[in-house]
Structure 1
């Protein structure tokens, strides 16, 4: 009897230690935030911040209709499983290392790293957007990638600026920020998000937080944060405590729009009128579902966005890595490609890891024969 009791106590102790370790690990993936009173003091003057709820406010509320969700069960348990919508084979990619980048960044080039992660070279600056190289959740087995990234974070070239659009796990990865924290680079993020970065080791003086319609100049570049219809949060109790943003990157000769995550709304025409036209729009195309109709762009809205902001080229992002919206991995890109062709919008669709100069480099519909190209 004593032996059984000892085994039970040891088992309980091990379970408690494992649970505690797991909870600590998850908490470190979240990143800390300022106290509520400090946030209120900083943000209360903004008309898109509610001090009573301590929340930033989307330009339009985000409805959720679980009964209208298409594609299967939208519950959180799906993120623990291998997606039935995954391709089932490695997607074509060009594996790259820091040796594939020139010592001095070029005037204009883009490397899509999968999902919303990409490297932009513009006017001699190298900018890294929403870098995520692992899975898309707070634990290694949550929201698994379809396949490995074309580059390891340890192989990133020298980066001048890191831009984060919002703090969701598929856009902001704690391990990558910790890796970059000690390097000499600037971080540009929406309001409130700097607290998380500081918790992961980034020095406060290296962080610029932007409100909507605020900008930061770096050399010849002017980087402006703009509204989006979306939300933020990394746990059950921090929804909308930090801001989210779309971005305009204006250089000496190029004007670029980066959608981040956004639903469709009148803010896009406003952006086009005030900041357009655009030489290139890097726009999310995947994540849409009738169950959450304003949280992401539907394929036809991707095209409408390009027309609203007067974009010459469309570079689809936010696809090809995670199953976020319960539809086949290639459904969105097929629909967007067909709609773009019907509306005379030129696509830039490199494989992951491929360097392109938008407007000059030729790309093709590689998703139509992905096994052949891989």
Structure 2
């Protein structure tokens, strides 16, 4: 009996230790939030912030129709499993190390690193969008990647700016922010997200928070946060307590649009009229589902976005890495490619890790070719 008692005590202690570790990890992943009184002072006069609900408001109310969800509803447990929609072969990619980057950034070039992680070289500066290099959840086993990133965060070149569109796990990675925190990097993020960055070690004077239609400058580059139809949050009780944004990034000669995550709405036409035309757009193409029709862009809406904002060149993002919407990994890009060809939109589709000059370097429909990692 004594032996059983001791084993039970050790088992309980181990269980408590594991549970405590998980709580610590998840709390760290959630990140810090502004105190309520700070939120009232900072956001109460904004037309897109509700002081009654203490949350930011989408330009159009998000709709959820579970009975219309395509692909079935496997429940939250699916995020712990290997996706049945994943590719059955390694996706082609150009593996990168620090030695693959020039000491001086180009005046204009882009690397797609997978999903929404994009490295833009503009006016001799390097701008990193939504850096995520591992899985996309509060625990390492949640929302697994189809394949490894073409670049480890430890091999990133010198970065000048990090731009965050919102705080969802597939766009904001705790480990990467902590890794970059003590470098001479400026972080640009929507309202409220700065508190999370600061909690992970980014100095306050390295953080610029922007509301919609609010610009900031970095040398010759002007970055303006713009609206989107979406939502935010990293836990069950912080939905919409931070803002989300799309961005216009205007350099000396090039004007770039980054959609972030957004549903389709009239805000896109207004962005085009006020901030366009654009030389290039990074546009999310995956995550759509009839069950949540305004949360992400459907393929035909991604093309319509390009027409609304006045661009002929689109770099598809938000695909090829995670299964977020219950359809095959290449379904969205196949549909977008077909829509683009019918509407004179030029797709810029480098393999992950490949450096291209949009409009100059040709790319192809690599997803149609079974290829091994280079």
Equivalent position of 2:240 in the other structure: 240
Q: Tell me, what secondary structure is at the counterpart of 1:338?
A: helix
Equivalent position of 2:56 in the other structure: 56
Q: Distance in 2 between matches of 1:254 and 1:312?
A: 13
Per-residue CA distance 1:43-99 (angstroms, 9 max, x = gap): 000010011111000000111111110112252111011000000221000001111
Q: Distance in 2 between matches of 1:156 and 1:236?
A: 32
Q: Tell me, what secondary structure is at the counterpart of 2:257?
A: strand
Matched, 1:180 2:162: no
Matched pairs, number: 374
Equivalent position of 2:2 in the other structure: 2
Q: Does the aligned pair in 2 maintain the 1:104–1:124 contact within 8 Å?
A: yes
Matched, 1:100 2:76: no
Equivalent position of 2:335 in the other structure: 335
Q: Displacement, 1:307?
A: 0.6
Q: How does 1:304-319 map to 2 (within 5 A)?
A: 304-319=304-319
Q: Distance in 1 between matches of 2:26 and 2:269?
A: 39
Per-residue CA distance 1:238-270 (angstroms, 9 max, x = gap): 000100000000111111100000000000000
Q: Displacement, 1:355?
A: 0.1
Question: Structure 2: any 5+ residue segments left out of the alignment?
Answer: none
Q: Tell me, what secondary structure is at the counterpart of 1:315?
A: strand
| Structural RMSD (CA) | 0.9
Q: Distance in 2 between matches of 1:112 and 1:209?
A: 25
The 1:260–1:146 alpha-carbon spacing in structure 2 relative to 1, beyond 3 Å, is same
Q: Does the aligned pair in 1 maintain the 2:272–2:308 contact within 8 Å?
A: yes
Q: Displacement, 1:2?
A: 2.1
Equivalent position of 1:366 in the other structure: 366
The 1:21–1:214 alpha-carbon spacing in structure 2 relative to 1, beyond 3 Å, is same
Q: Displacement, 1:226?
A: 0.2
Q: Distance in 2 between matches of 1:373 and 1:170?
A: 23
**TM-score of the superposition, structure 2-length normalised?**
0.99
Equivalent position of 1:87 in the other structure: 87
Q: How does 1:257-296 map to 2 (within 5 A)?
A: 257-296=257-296
Question: Structure 1: any 5+ residue segments left out of the alignment?
Answer: none
Q: Does the aligned pair in 2 maintain the 1:66–1:74 contact within 8 Å?
A: no
Q: Tell me, what secondary structure is at the counterpart of 1:314?
A: strand
Q: Does the aligned pair in 1 maintain the 2:268–2:309 contact within 8 Å?
A: yes
